[in-house]
Amino acid sequence: MSLVLDPAAQDLLFREARTANTFTDEPVTDEQVQAIYDLVKYGPTAFNQSPLRITLVRSPEARERLVKHMAEGNQPKTAAAPLVAILSADNEFHEELPQLFPHFPQAKDAFFSERPVREGAAALNAAMQAAYFIVGVRAAGLAAGPMTGLDFEGVRKEFLDDDHTPLMVVNIGRPGPDAWFPRSPRLAYDQVVTTV
């Protein structure tokens, strides 16, 4: 086998993992979320910029405020999931670069002094971190239901500020009854990989 990772772990993280649409009512603890973050924070980003921000929606009042911004088909599962996370990109991530990229603290001003540049970098790198986060949820033995069917501007105004751009909402928990849609096809290696 060409992969070092144990086949059971490969299945847990990828082959058997699915996007959940229903969840049990078993709570997701702060300790679980911290363990997930403490694992996935090591995923690579450009300049180690780490722009992902995670807003946990726990209170019933906050959940109700979020559900109204979700697409109609996403509202019931968002209302019922044990935990919901809003993943966003911090467009002012460069303020932390002297701490996160100490061997070249000038990167903050040399590369990211202009807001449009920061927004592009934040969106790309936070999206990578969001993918790591989803795999981390799976590593914790939980299921993730990432969704982009939402009113992004409404979510930003309700929960964030002008310096944060929402990327997605992720329902998190143990899968419930009929949690999975049938597995959708994937592209084959030869359809994706080109050698030059």
Q: What is the pLDDT of residues 54-101, one digit of tens each?
A: 999 999 999 999 999 999 999 999 999 999 999 999 999 999 999 999
Q: Are 87 and 54 in contact (CB under 8 A)?
A: yes
The rounded mean pLDDT for the chain is 96
What is the CA 171 to chain-centroid distance, rounded?
10
DSSP strands (E only) in 50-163:
52-57, 83-90, 143-147
pTM of the predicted model as reported, rounded to 2 decimal places: 0.95
What are the chain's domains? 19-175 (3.40.109.10)
3-class DSSP state of 184: coil
Q: List Cβ neighbours of 92 (8 Å cut-off, separation of 6 or more).
A: 118, 163
Distance separating alpha carbons of residues 64 and 85, to the nearest angstrom: 14
Handedness of CA 96, 113, 44, 162 (dihedral sign): positive
Distance separating alpha carbons of residues 10 and 23, to the nearest angstrom: 22
Q: List Cβ neighbours of 38 (8 Å cut-off, separation of 6 or more).
A: none
Q: How much is the pLDDT for 105?
A: 86
